[in-house]
Structure 1
Amino acid sequence: MIAKHVAMRSQGKSDFAGLVNYITDKQSKEHRLGQVRLTNCEAQSVRDAISEVLATQFANTRAKSDKTYHLIVSFRPGEQVDAKTLADIEDRICEGLGFGEHQRISAVHNDTDNLHVHIAINKIHPKHNTIYEPYYSHRALAELCGAMEQDYGLQQDNHMPRRQGAEARAADMERHAGIESLIGWIKRECLDELKAAQSWSQLHQVMSANGLELKARSNGLVVVASNDVMVKASTLGRDFSKPKLEARFGPFEPGQTQQASPRRMYRKEPVRLRVNTTELYAKYKAEQATATANKTAALEAARQQKDRRIGHAKVKGKARRAAIKLTGSSKLTKKLLYAQASSALKADIDAIQKQYREERTAIYEANARRTWADWLKQKAQQGDTEALAALRAREAAQGLKGNTLRGEGQTKPGYTPVIDNITKKGTIIYRAGSSAVRDDGDRLQVSRESGQAAVQSALRMAMERYGNRITVNGSPEFKARVIRAAVDGQLPVTFADPGLEQRRQSLARGQSKTDAKARSRRAGVPPIGQCPPSIRRNQLQALSQLDALSFEQRASRAAIQPKPSEQEQRKARLRAQMDAKKAKRQKKGRSL
C-alpha cells in the first residue's frame, strides 16, 4: 500500500469542486467508481457537500496557499480490500496527518490494475477557519502505511521513494506515457562508458559518440541531447556533479566540436518492449500530425464563422438603429429604443461567443494529442490486437494475482467480450452482471465482492477463451465458490487440481441424485426404486390383506346428490319470497 500527496503547483488551478467532480465521475465506465464517502460534512449528497466545503474555504480570507489537499492511497496489483477496511484506512491516515476533524470526500476507483482511493480534503478547519499543512507528510504517510500493512494483513510495499527529483519524474513519464526519457536512455546505453572516463577529453569524447554534449550552466553542468533535451549532470549520479568531476579531472574544460557522426543518439521513442512496435509508432506519429493539422484547420474555420456571425449581428443592429432614427417618435422614446437595440446586439454577440467557445472545446477534445500509452489504449479498445499486445508487453505490465482462473488451450479468435475498459497494462475489464472480471490475456480475475453469478460468468468466459481445463488460484473460499458455480451451472469443465476435480465430481453426482429424486416425487406417486417391507417380499397376499378402502353399507342416493350452488340457492329464496307476497295479495283481495 502506498499513500501519496498530489501537490498543486499553481494555486490558481486549485479547485475543490473540480477535484471532486473528477474523482466521482464514472467516465462512461460501469465499474470505475466504487464507494463514495462523505466525512465531517452536514450535507448528505456530493453536490451539497461541495457547496459546504467551498463556503468553509471562503470563510478564510487570509490563507494564500492551496486550500485543498489531494491524497491517493493505492494498493498492490490484484489486492482486493473490502469497504470497511478501506474506510478504516482512510480514517487512520487522515487522523495521522492531522485532518481528523476536517471535511473530506473520498471515492474508490477500480478502473486500473491497482485498486486506489482518491481523498479530497479541505485544509480549512470547519470550526476554527484556520488552514493546516502537514509537516513532512511523506514520512508520516510511510510510517502509517507500514503499520496498517501489518494490522490489516496487506501486501508490503516500499514506502520511501528510490528516486527523487528529475529522476523520479522521468521514471513516471516512462511508466505513464511509455516514452523513453533521456535519463533512462543514458543509464541503459552509455552510463558505464561515462563512468570509465579518466579525463575531461575522454568524457567529452564518450558524450559525442552517443550524440550528447556536456555544457556548463549556471553553477553546474547539464547534458544536452541532439534534439535539445537536457538534464542536470548530477541526475545521472552524484559522481557527475560539477564539484565531484572537478575534483577528479581538474577545472571544467568545454568540449570541442566533433565532426564524426555519433554511433547512437537519443530519440524520443517508445521504451523497448518484447514486441516490435515500429509500425505502430509510425502510425501513431502520423495520426498525431493529422490531428494537429485538423485541429488547426477546424479552429480557423470556427473563428471565421464566428467573425461572420458577429458581422451579421452588427449589420442587423445597425439597421435596427437606422429604423429607429427614421421613426417620428419623441426623444425619450428613441432613447429607450436605442437602449433596447444595444441590449439585443450585446445579447446576440454573447450568444455567438458562447457558441464559439463550445465549438473550440469540442474541436480540442476531438483532436486532442495523446501520449503513446493512451493511444495504444484507445486502439486496443477499438479492437486492435497489435496495440493490446504492445500494452501487455510493457515492463510495467504484470500478471493478475489473487483469485484467478486460468485455462489451458488456445484463444478462440471469434470470442470478443463486451469491454468496459482497458488499462495501460493491457488488462481488459468487462462486465459480468453487477460485477467486473479482469483479463490480462493469460488468466481471469474475479473481485472479492463478486457474486456467484459473476464467478459462473468468469468460468464460462474461461471455457470459451481457453478450453475446458481450468486452473484455479486463490483463497480456499474462492475455490469452493468456483466448484459450486461449475456444479450449479452444469458446466463441462475439468479442474487441473486433482483435489478440486474430485470435489466437483462428488458434488455433481450428489446434485444429479437430488435432481432425480425431485423429479420422481410427485403428488400421489411413490418414489421409483424403493423396496417393499420385508413381510411383503416374495409372498402372495389375499385381497383382504391389501391396503384398500372398503364401504360398510351402501350410501343413500340423497347423500350423493350434489349440493346446489350459491346462485341456485339465491334464486330459490327469491322465488319463495315472491310466492309468499303473491299469496298475501290474493288473501287480502278475498277479504275485501
Structure 2
Amino acid sequence: MIAKHVPMKSIKKSDFDALVSYISDDQDKKERVEYTSVTNCQSEDLTAAIIEVTAVQGMNTRAESDKTYHLILSFREGERPSNEVLKEIERSICEGLGYGEHQRVSAVHCDTDNLHMHIAINKIHPTRLTIHNSYNDHKVLGKLCEAIEIKYGLERDNHQSNKVASENRAADMERHAGVESLLSWVRRECLDQLHAAASWDEFHKVLREHGLTLQERGNGFVIADHDGLMVKASTVARDLSKGKLEGRLGVFESLSKDSGVASQSTGRGKVYEPRPVGSRLDTTLLFARYKNEQANQRALRAQQWKSVREERARKIDAAKRAAKLKRAVIKLSTKSRIEKKILYALASKSLLADIQHANQQCQAERQAIFERHRPQQWADWLRRKASSGDVDALNALRARDAAQGLSGDTIGGIGGARIRHGVKVKLDGVTKKGTIIYRAGSSAIRDDGDKLKVSRGSSADGLEVALRMAMERYGSTITVSGSAEFKARIVRTAVDAGIPLVFADPVLERQRRSLLNNTTVNRNEQQSERGRGIGSGVSGIGSGVHNANGAGRWYGFFGAINKPNVSGVGRRPPPESRNRLRDLSSLAMVRFATGVEMLLSGNVSGGVEQQGAERNNALRRSVSGAGLIVSVEADKYIAEREEKRLRGINVPMHRRYSEGDAGTLSFAGLRRVDGTALLLLKRDDVVCVLPVDEPMAARLQRLSIGDAVSVGESGSITLAKGRSR
C-alpha cells in the first residue's frame, strides 16, 4: 500500500470543486468509480458537499497556502479490500494526518491495474476555520501505511524514503509516461566520465559531447539539454553538488563562449531524446509512428490556433470599425450633450462586450482544438491505439517491465478446441499495462492476454460470459485460480449454462460431472412428473399422456412405449416389482451387525451393496439425502474453511465428497449451515464434506471423532443395525 500527497504547483489553480468533479467522474466507464463517500458534511450529496466546503474555505481569508489536500492511496496489483475495509483505512489515514474532523470526499477507482482511492480534504476546519498543514506528512504516511498493512494483512511495501523529491518525480514520469527521463539518461550515459573528469574543461567537454551544459542556478548547478530541460546536478549524483565539485575541480569556470552550445554535437554526437524504457519488445518502428503522429498533431494544432487568432482579430477589428462609425454618427447627430454622452457610453459598452465575446469564443475554440489534438505521452498513445484495435500497441503495453499478469480469481486455458460462441462485450478501456477491460451487462471482465478476471460481485451471467470468452481465446480446457467460493461458482455456472468445457483441475472436473449428472437426473424426473396425471391414456395409436391440469404431452405412435427404463410388456418387470419375496431365495444376503459394530464394505459379499438394485432415476422422485446431493450450504462451508486456510490459519483442506473417495473414512464431525447437516469425513489430510438428511444426522451423532465410516460411491452411508442411506 502506498500513500502519496499530490501538491498543486500553482495555488491559484487549487479548486476543490474541480478535484471532486474529476475523482467522481466515471468517464462513461463501468470499471472506474467503485464508490464515493462524503465525510463530516451536512449532506452526502456531492453537489451540496462541494458548496459547503467551498463556503467554509471562503470564510478563511488569512490562509495564503493551498486550502485543499489531495491524497492518493494505492494498493498492490491484485489486492481488492472490501468497501468496509477501505472506509476504515481512509478514516485511519485522515486521523493520523490530523484531518479526522475535516470535511472530505473520497472516491475509489478501479480502472487501472492498481486499485486506488482519491481523497479530497478541506484543510480548513469546519468550526474553528483554521488551516491545518500536516508536518512531514510523507514520513507520517509511511508509518500509517505500515500499521495498516499489518492490521489488514496487506502486502508490505518499502516506506523508507531513500530518494529526494526530484528523483521521485523522475521515477513517476518514467512509470506513467513510459519514457526514459533526463536524470536516468545522464546517469546511464555520462556519469562515469563526469566522475573521471580532472578539470572544468574536461567536465564541460564530457557534457558537450552529450549535448548538455552545466549552468549555475540559485546556490547550485543544473544540467540542461539543448531543449532547455534541466535536472539538478546533485540529484544525478551527490558528489556533483556545487560544493563537492568546487572542492575537487576548483572554483567554478563557466563554459567559454568559443566552445559553447554550438559545438555540443562534437565527439560521439549522442544527445538526449525521450525513448521507451523497460520493454521486452523492439518498439523502434512503433515509437517512430508515435513521434510522427505527435509532430503532425502539433502542426495541425498550431495551424488551427493561428486561424482562430486571425478570426478573433477580424472580429475585433470589425467591432472597432462599427464602434467608430457609431461615434461618428453620434457626433453628427443633433442630440443634446447629455444624450450624446449616454450614447457614447452605450457605444463603448457595446464595443467592450463585442471584444469580450470574441475573446471568449476564441478561448473556447482553442480549448476544443487542444482537446482534438491533445499531446499524449507514449503510454497514453499506446492505450489509445490499443483501444482502437492496434495489436502492436497492445503487445507493446504488455511487454513493459512493469506489466504483470492478473492474479486472484482468474480464468485461463491450456488448449483444446476453440469454440466460437459469438460473445458480445463492449470495450470499457485499456490500462497502461495492457489489460483490456470489457463490459458485459453489469459485470466487468479484465483480459491480460493470458487470463480473464471478473469484477468482484459479478452475476452468474458475467461468469458465463467470461467462460465463453475463455473458450474462444484459450480452448475448451479451462483453468481456474482463486478462492474456493469462486471455483464453486464457476463450476455451477458451467453446469447451469450447459457450456461444453473441461476443467484442467481433476477435482473441479469431478464436481462438474457430478453436478451435471444430478442436473440430468432432476431434468428427467421433472419430465416424468409432467407425464403423470389423472385419466392418462396408456396405449393405443396416437394416445397422449395428460397431466393434472389437463395439458397433454405427445409420446409418439405407441404412447407409453417411449418411457425410459420400461421394457416391452411381459419381458421384464418394472423396477418397483423386482427383487420381491418370490425371488428371495435367489438373492444375496448379508447379516446385520449387532452392538456398536459398523457394516464395512469388506463385510459385504460381492455384488450386494456394490451392485444393488438397478437405478431408475427417471421414474422416481428425488429423495433428500440420497446420492451426491448438490448443496449450496456445503459449498458455502467449504469456501469459508478454505478462506481461513489461505490466510495461514491451521485448517486442513476441505472439499466436496466425490465418487473417488468411496471406502472407509474417518469420522471428523457434523456441522450445520443454514439448517443443512454436513458430514465431515477425513481422508489423509483432507476433509471431505457430504450433505446428509436429518435421520442420518441423528444416527451419526452417536459416533466419536476418529470412528471409521463406510461410504459408497453414491454417498450412501452404512451403519450398524440399519439400512444404508
TM-score by length of 2: 0.67
* Cα distance in 1, alignment partners of residues 481 and 463 from structure 2: 13
Q: How far apart are 1:466 and its partner, in Å? A: 1.6
**Contact persistence 1:30–1:420 (CA under 8 A):** yes
**1:198-228 deviation line (CA, Å, top 9, x unaligned):** 8559974994697266847366555555666
Deviates more, 1:225-234 or 1:388-397: 225-234
User: Are 1:395 and 2:401 an aligned pair?
Assistant: yes
**1:149-179 deviation line (CA, Å, top 9, x unaligned):** 2222222222233432222221111111111
Q: 2:428 — aligned with what?
A: 420
Q: 1:211 — aligned with what?
A: 210
**Contact persistence 1:2–1:157 (CA under 8 A):** yes
Q: How far apart are 1:451 and its partner, in Å? A: 2.3
Question: Structure 1: where are the runs of 5+ without partners?
Answer: 540-592
SS of the residue corresponding to residue 36 of structure 2 reads strand
SS of the residue corresponding to residue 28 of structure 1 reads coil
Cα 1:382/1:160, change in 2 over 3 Å: same
User: Once the two structures are aligned, what percentage of the paired residues are identical?
Assistant: 50
SS of the residue corresponding to residue 269 of structure 1 reads coil
Q: 2:90 — aligned with what?
A: 90
Equivalent of residue 295 in structure 1, options 274, 281, 301: 301
Q: 1:386 — aligned with what?
A: 392
SS of the residue corresponding to residue 368 of structure 1 reads coil
Q: 1:437 — aligned with what?
A: 445
Cα 1:438/1:317, change in 2 over 3 Å: same
Match for 1:161: what amino acid? Answer: S
Equivalent of residue 531 in structure 1, options 553, 575, 600: 575
User: Are 1:517 and 2:525 an aligned pair?
Assistant: yes
* Cα distance in 2, alignment partners of residues 212 and 356 from structure 1: 39
Q: How far apart are 1:455 and its partner, in Å? A: 1.6
**Contact persistence 2:178–2:276 (CA under 8 A):** yes
1:269-308 alignment runs, 5 A limit: 269-308=275-314
Q: 2:134 — aligned with what?
A: 134
Q: How far apart are 1:514 and its partner, in Å? A: 1.4
SS of the residue corresponding to residue 105 of structure 1 reads strand
Q: 1:451 — aligned with what?
A: 459
1:169-180 alignment runs, 5 A limit: 169-180=169-180
**Contact persistence 1:80–1:447 (CA under 8 A):** no
SS of the residue corresponding to residue 37 of structure 2 reads strand
Q: 1:566 — aligned with what?
A: none
* Cα distance in 2, alignment partners of residues 459 and 42 from structure 1: 46
Match for 2:136: what amino acid? Answer: Y
Q: 2:40 — aligned with what?
A: 40
1:488-503 alignment runs, 5 A limit: 488-503=496-511
Deviates more, 1:155-164 or 1:483-492: 155-164
Match for 1:479: what amino acid? Answer: K
Q: 2:488 — aligned with what?
A: 480
Q: How far apart are 1:52 and its partner, in Å? A: 0.2
* Cα distance in 2, alignment partners of residues 75 and 432 from structure 1: 25
**Contact persistence 2:181–2:274 (CA under 8 A):** yes
Q: How far apart are 1:323 and its partner, in Å? A: 6.6
Cα 1:536/1:318, change in 2 over 3 Å: farther
**1:442-479 deviation line (CA, Å, top 9, x unaligned):** 11112222222222211111111121111111111111
**1:68-87 deviation line (CA, Å, top 9, x unaligned):** 11111111112112111111
Match for 1:77: what amino acid? Answer: E
* Cα distance in 2, alignment partners of residues 52 and 396 from structure 1: 41
Deviates more, 1:414-423 or 1:314-323: 314-323
**Contact persistence 1:204–1:213 (CA under 8 A):** no
**Contact persistence 2:204–2:214 (CA under 8 A):** no
**Contact persistence 2:438–2:446 (CA under 8 A):** yes
Cα 1:365/1:198, change in 2 over 3 Å: closer
**Contact persistence 1:102–1:124 (CA under 8 A):** yes
**Contact persistence 2:419–2:471 (CA under 8 A):** no
Q: 1:27 — aligned with what?
A: 27
SS of the residue corresponding to residue 492 of structure 1 reads coil
Question: Structure 2: where are the runs of 5+ without partners?
Answer: 534-544, 548-562, 566-573, 584-725
SS of the residue corresponding to residue 102 of structure 1 reads coil
* Cα distance in 2, alignment partners of residues 214 and 306 from structure 1: 41
* Cα distance in 2, alignment partners of residues 307 and 201 from structure 1: 52
Q: 1:374 — aligned with what?
A: 380
* Cα distance in 2, alignment partners of residues 213 and 357 from structure 1: 37
Q: 2:723 — aligned with what?
A: none
SS of the residue corresponding to residue 267 of structure 2 reads coil
Q: 1:110 — aligned with what?
A: 110
SS of the residue corresponding to residue 521 of structure 1 reads helix
Cα 1:297/1:208, change in 2 over 3 Å: closer
* Cα distance in 2, alignment partners of residues 78 and 466 from structure 1: 22
Match for 1:364: what amino acid? Answer: F
Deviates more, 1:160-169 or 1:393-402: 160-169
* Cα distance in 2, alignment partners of residues 408 and 270 from structure 1: 32
* Cα distance in 2, alignment partners of residues 47 and 17 from structure 1: 9
* Cα distance in 2, alignment partners of residues 21 and 234 from structure 1: 39
**Contact persistence 1:194–1:206 (CA under 8 A):** no
Q: 2:76 — aligned with what?
A: 76
1:190-339 alignment runs, 5 A limit: 191=191, 197=196, 199-200=198-199, 204=203, 207=206, 211=210, 215=214, 217=216, 220=220, 222-223=222-223, 229-241=229-241, 243=243, 261-262=267-268, 264-316=270-322
* Cα distance in 1, alignment partners of residues 497 and 224 from structure 2: 64
Match for 1:439: what amino acid? Answer: D
**Contact persistence 1:33–1:107 (CA under 8 A):** yes
**Contact persistence 1:222–1:233 (CA under 8 A):** yes
Match for 1:465: what amino acid? Answer: R
Match for 1:217: what amino acid? Answer: E
**1:208-257 deviation line (CA, Å, top 9, x unaligned):** 69726684736655555566654334323334445556667777788997
Q: How far apart are 1:90 and its partner, in Å? A: 0.8
Deviates more, 1:355-364 or 1:213-222: 213-222
Match for 1:495: what amino acid? Answer: F
Bigger Rg, which one: 1
Q: How far apart are 1:486 and its partner, in Å? A: 1.0
**Contact persistence 1:403–1:447 (CA under 8 A):** no
Cα 1:470/1:85, change in 2 over 3 Å: same
* Cα distance in 1, alignment partners of residues 193 and 415 from structure 2: 47
Deviates more, 1:228-237 or 1:246-255: 246-255
Q: 1:353 — aligned with what?
A: 359
**1:497-531 deviation line (CA, Å, top 9, x unaligned):** 11111111111111111122122211516996573
**Contact persistence 1:208–1:262 (CA under 8 A):** no
Q: How many residues align structurally?
A: 538
Q: How far apart are 1:133 and its partner, in Å? A: 1.1
